[in-house]
Structure 1
Amino acid sequence: MTASAFTSSLPPDALAKAAGVRLMIFDVDGVLTDGGLFYGEEGEAFKRFNALDGHGIKMMQQFGTAAAIITARQSPYVLRRARDLGIAHVFQGVHDKRQAFEQLLQHTQLTAAACGYLGDDIIDLPVLTRVAFKACVANGHREVKARCDYVTQATGGNGAVREVCDLVLAAQGNYEAALAPYLA
C-alpha cells in the first residue's frame, strides 16, 4: 500500500492533528498489552507485548517523534520494554496521570499541543483531553472512544500502537521513508 493509499483511508482531521505531534504518549495495560495480567507464584504480574507495536515505536522515534509511557501499574517488565524500545520517559505507578503529564511536559519542554496520547480507559481521560491528537484502541471504553480523533481498528496489544505510529509517520510525511529500507 502506498502512503497516499494509506493516508486516504484515514480521517483528515486525525491526520492534521497527528502532523504536529512531537511526543506520542502510551498507556500500557490495554494499549501496549492486551490488558490481561498473568500472575506468577511470587505474585508478579507478567505482560505480553506486541513486536509490531514495538517496531512502530522505533520507526516513529527514528523520524523525530519521541515516545513516552504513563501507566497506573508498576512493573519491571514495562521498564525493560521501554529500555528495549529506547523510550526515555516512563512514569509508572501513576494514579493521577494529569500530574505525570505535567512533569513530562516540564522534562521535555514541550506543550500539550505537541503531544498525542493513545489510551483505552477512563483513567486516561485527564491526559487525553489535554493533548492535540487523541487516540483510543478498538476495544477501549466507550467514554474514551467518544473523545478521540482516531479509534484504531486493532485492539490493544494486538497492533493498535503500530497503527497509531504508522498514522503519525504518514501525517508527518515520513511513512514512505520509514518503509524504504525494507523495500530496497
Structure 2
Amino acid sequence: MKKTAIIPLRKNSKGIPGKNKKKMLGRPLFSWVLTEAVFSELDEVYVFTDDEEIIAYIKKEYFWTPKIKTLLRNDENASDTASTESAMIEFATTVNYDFDLLCLLQATSPQTTALDINNALKEVIGNKKTSALTVVNTHRFIWNEDGTPQNYDVFNRPRRQDFQGLLIENGAVYCTTKEAFISSKNRVSGTIGLVKMAEESLVEIDSLSDWDIVEKLLADRQKKKKIHQRIEYLILDVDGVFTDGCVYYDQNGEMAKKFDMRDGMGLEILRQNKVEVIVLTSENSELVAQRMKKLQLNQTFLGVKDKFSFLTHFLSERNSSFGAVAYVGDDVNDLANICSVGWSFTPADAVDIVKANADYVLTHASGAGAIRETCEILLKYNKRYEGI
C-alpha cells in the first residue's frame, strides 16, 4: 500500500505574513511537520506550494532523503478563497492518483509527531477505517448562544476527572483511502477513525499571540523529552561559538575569522576520550573548511539551515539519539537543537533567547574559551559513566 502525504503551503498569508517560512523555534514553521513526516511510516511526502523559495529551500536542505518531493500548485488553488479540498484534488490529479492512501498534514500544527501520523495510518490500514483524523479531548464546558449548556447539566457540574468532555478536531492530520477520496472529494468520509492528540495541540496559529504560545509549548515538549546518558557526540556551531561572531571582509569578500587556539586542544583531548566532534553551521565558508581541516574535524557540515532536521537524520543513521548529544550554539537557528539534546551549552555572550533555553550558560564568551570550557565540563560529566 502506497502511503502518500501532502503538505499544502501558500505563499501569502493575511493573518501572519509569510507564516509558513517564519521561524518557529529557529526553524521555518512548515519544517516541523515535514521532518516528523519523513521519520513516520509514510512512503512519500509532497510539499505542494506556490512558493518557489520554499521549493528551493527543501531541495537544498533535505537532499539526504528521497522521501520528500515538491510540486508547484496553481495560483487559483493558492488563493485566500480556495479550499484545502481543491488543492488536494489538484494534487491528486497532478500525480494521476498514484497512491493508495492520502494523508493531509497541516503546517500550522507544528506539534504533530511521527507517532500521531502513524496512529492515523493505523486507523485506516489496521482498523479498516475509510478515513481518520486527529482530535483533542477537551474538558471545557460548551455553551450555545441562547444561554443553554451544550455538554453538561449546570445543576450537576461534574468534576474534571468524572467528565468525559468533548472530542474536538485539531486540524493536524487527516487520512483517507484513494477510493473514498475519489468518491467524496473530501479529506474524510465513510467510516472515520479518531486519533487523540495532546490537549495543547488544539491551539491554532491564527495570530502572533498564538504563535508565541505554540513556540513555548514546542520548546517545553522538546525539553521534557531530554534524557541524560553518556555524551557520544559534541555538535558545534561556528560563528558565535568557535569565533566571536565577527567576519572581516575586504573588496574580494570574506577575508578572516578569529579562532581561539585553546579550543583546538580541548577538542583533541575530548576526541581522545571517545567523544566524536561534529561541526554544523549554516554558513558555507572556505575559511571555516580550512580551519576544521586543520583541527582534523572531518565531520564538518557547511551550509545547513535546518540543523534540527539534519541532526535527526545524522543520529538516525548512527542508530543513536538526542540524549547522546551535547550541543553548543548561540543564536535562534540553534534553538530547536538547544531544546532537544541531552546537554546544551551557550556562550556567555549568546543572544538572550538562547541563554534562556540552554541547559548551561558558559562563563566564557564566544571565540574566547567557550568551547574549551564545554570540553572540560563534558570530560567530568562522562566520568560518571565509566565502567558501566
TM-score range, shorter chain: 0.7 to 0.9
Task: State whether residues 247 and 254 of structure 2, in contact with CA within 8 Å, keep that contact through their aligned partners in structure 1.
Answer: no
Q: Point out the structure with the larger strand share.
A: 2
Partner of 2:232: 22
**Cα distance in 2 between the residues matched to 1:126 and 1:45:** 31
Code of the residue aligned with 1:119 in structure 2: it is G
Q: What's 2:294 paired with?
A: 84
Deviations 1:152-184 (A, max 9, x none): 11100000000000100111229xxxxxxxxxx
- Give 3-state SS (helix, strand or coil) of 2:353's partner: helix
SS in 2 for 1:129: helix
CA distance in 1, matches of 2:321, 2:333: 21
Report how far residue 91 of structure 1 moved: 1.6
Residue 156 (str. 1) matches residue 353 (str. 2): no
Q: Which moved more, 1:147-156 or 1:81-90?
A: 81-90
**Shift in alpha-carbon separation, 1:92–1:45, aligned structure 2, 3 A:** farther
Residue 146 of structure 1, aligned match among 356, 360, 371 = 356
Secondary structure at the counterpart of residue 305 of structure 2: coil
Give the percent of matched residue pairs that are identical in Structure 1 and Structure 2.
32
* Aligned pairs (5 A) from 1:88-103: 88-103=298-313
Residue equivalent to 2:279: 69
Cα distance change of structure 1 residues 83 and 103 upon mapping to structure 2, 3 Å threshold: farther
Q: How much does 1:107 deviate?
A: 4.3
Q: Please give the alpha-carbon distance, in whole angstroms, between the structure 2 residues aligned to 1:93 and 1:72.
A: 4
More helix by share: 1
* CA deviation after TM superposition for structure 1 residue 31, in Å: 0.3
| 1:49 corresponds to which of 259, 263, 277 | 259
Q: Which structure has the greater CA radius of gyration?
A: 2
Deviations 1:80-105 (A, max 9, x none): 22222222221211111112212321
> Within 1, Cα distance between the matches of 2:249 and 2:300?
22
SS at match of 1:44: strand
Gaps of at least 5 residues in structure 2 are 1-226
Q: CA RMSD in A?
A: 1.8
- Higher-RCO chain (CA-CA 8 Å, sequence separation at least 6): 1
Q: Which residue of 2 aligns with 1:118?
A: 328
For the pair 1:40 / 2:247, whether they are aligned, the reply is: no
Residue 108 of structure 1 and its aligned partner are, at CA, apart by: 3.6
Q: What is the distance in 1 between the residues matched to 2:320 and 2:255?
A: 33
TM-score w.r.t. the length of structure 2 is: 0.39
- Consecutive aligned runs of 4 or more in structure 1 exceeding 3 Å deviation: 106-109
The one of 132, 142, 146 equivalent to 2:342 is 132
2:378 counterpart (168, 173, 177): 168
How far 1:45 moved relative to its partner?
4.4
CA contact (8 A) 2:231 2:275 kept: yes
Q: Deviations over 1:36-70 (max 9, x none)?
A: 00013211242111111111111101100111111
Long gaps (5+) in structure 1: 1-15, 175-184
Equivalent residue of 2:251, what SS?
Answer: coil
| Cα distance change of structure 1 residues 107 and 79 upon mapping to structure 2, 3 Å threshold | farther
